[in-house]
Amino acid sequence: MTDKPSVLFVCVHNAGRSQMAAGWLRHLAGDTVEVRSAGSAPAGTINPAAVAAMHEVGIDITGQTPTLLEYATAESSDVIVTMGCGDACPVFPGKRYEDWKLDDPAGQGVEAVRPIRDEIRTRVEKLLAELR
């Protein structure tokens, strides 16, 4: 890893879990980590319940856009965290991979997304501590 590690969060639609994880890491790490997120089949917009749940904790993810996972992005990332789409993510020797089993917030209301958001924060805090 370089002095500034890069972390790629990947889920199918890049509209909920991976966007919340990226939002948490940006919030907690500042500019000490390069934060990326992508999806194997990206949605057109971010999940409104994910946006609302993150807004409740003071994190604005409305400026983010679901993005297609590209080979080069994965290849140039130090850590790749998958959330339900591990088979779609290319595997590169020497990379650190984690697969976070999390409920899918798609189609859920903000009440159902809050515990997912909070679990993601816990995992992001642990990852950040390990990166430091």
Segment 91-99 shows an average pLDDT of 84
Over residues 108-125, mean pLDDT: 97
Q: CA distances (Å), 124 to each of 10, 93, 96, in order?
A: 14, 23, 14
Catalytic residue among 35, 46, 79, 85: 85
Residue with tokens 């080979």: 71
20 closest CA partner among 81, 77, 88: 81
**pLDDT over 70 (residue 81):** yes
Active-site option among 12, 46, 89, 116 = 89
Query: Of the given ranges (10-14, 15-19, 55-59, 63-67), which has the lowest mean pLDDT?
Result: 10-14
- Asked if 85 is an active-site residue, the reply is yes
Q: Is 89 a catalytic residue?
A: yes
pLDDT band at 93 (very low <50, low <70, confident <90, very high): confident
Tell me which of 11, 49, 50, 54 is the catalytic residue: 11
User: 44-53, 76-85, 118-127: lowest mean pLDDT where?
Assistant: 76-85
